[in-house]
């Protein structure tokens, strides 16, 4: 799957950052466009055969930037559960310094447009993502989602983001 991370030679901004800037004032465009971007990533981040731990370079980067895989999961889970209202928790790649970072975004604001981080793994915490199975208990949903994370996909995104 192609991942959009290219930059334009003139501004150094990604296509998504340019799109985000140019849609200022159009909340509907941002909401629907952002929702499409976020869910497209989310769908590939999950797999019925997922879970476990990432391999090789991605695991090394997680250990370097968070101390351990467990600490990264805890930090991302906390940030995601703490989103006020509806939004997303993210594991992103900071191309400026080559580091992984955790971030949270409100509503359907896309990670790259709002923070510049390249999205690797997103967790949807709009209530529609978990209400049927978990009612309003967001922490249980976030705890369980690690069992279906498709680390191969996240590793592919990580490799593409580093280029």
Residues engaged in binding Fe ion (CB under 5 A): 124, 126, 129
Residue showing the smallest CB distance to Fe ion in the complex:
124
Shortest CA distance to 16 belongs to which of 109, 94, 91? 109
Residue 46 CB, nearest distance to Fe ion (Å)?
12
Residue 10, SS3 per DSSP: coil
Query: Is 94 within any annotated ligand binding site?
Result: no
- The smaller minimum CB distance to Fe ion, of residues 46 and 59, is found at 46
**Shorter beta-carbon distance to Fe ion: residue 58 or 129:** 129
Nearer to Fe ion, 100 or 123 (CB): 123
In our burial notation (b when 16+ CB lie closer than 10 A, e otherwise), range 37-53 reads bbbebbebbbeeebeee
Give me the least distance between CB of 88 and Fe ion, in Å please: 8
Q: Is 36 annotated to bind ligand?
A: no
DSSP state of 91: E
Task: Please tell me whether 124 is known to bind a ligand.
Answer: yes
Cβ proximity to Fe ion: between 69 and 126 the closer is 126
Which DSSP state fits 49?
T
Q: Whole-number minimum distance, CB 77 to Fe ion, in Å? A: 18
User: Dihedral, CA atoms, 63, 79, 106, 51, nearest 10 degrees?
Assistant: 60
Spatial contact of 119 and 92, defined as CB atoms under 8 Å apart: yes
Q: Are 89 and 109 in contact (CB under 8 A)?
A: no
- Whether the CB-CB separation of 128 and 85 falls below 8 Å is answered with no
Shortest distance (Å) from residue 89 CB to Fe ion: 12
104 strand-pairing partners? 89
Going by the annotation, the residues of the binding site for Mn(2+) are: 39, 124, 128
Going by the annotation, the residues of the binding site are: 39, 124, 128
């Amino acid at each position: 799957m192609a991942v959009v991370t290219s930059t334009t030679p003139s501004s150094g901004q990604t296509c998504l950052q340019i799109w985000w800037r140019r849609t200022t004032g159009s909340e509907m465009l941002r909401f629907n466009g952002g929702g499409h971007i976020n869910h497209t990533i989310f769908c590939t981040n999950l797999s019925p055969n997922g879970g476990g731990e990432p391999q090789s370079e991605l695991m090394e980067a997680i250990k370097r930037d968070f101390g351990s895989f467990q600490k990264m999961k805890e930090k991302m889970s906390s940030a995601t559960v703490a989103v006020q209202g509806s939004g997303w928790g993210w594991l992103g790649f900071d191309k400026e310094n080559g580091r992984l970072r955790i971030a949270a975004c409100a509503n359907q604001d896309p990670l790259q447009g709002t923070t510049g981080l390249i999205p690797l793994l997103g967790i949807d915490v709009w209530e529609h993502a978990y209400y049927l199975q978990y009612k309003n208990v967001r922490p249980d949903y976030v705890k369980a989602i690690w069992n279906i994370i498709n680390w191969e996909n996240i590793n592919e995104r990580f490799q593409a983001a580093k280029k």
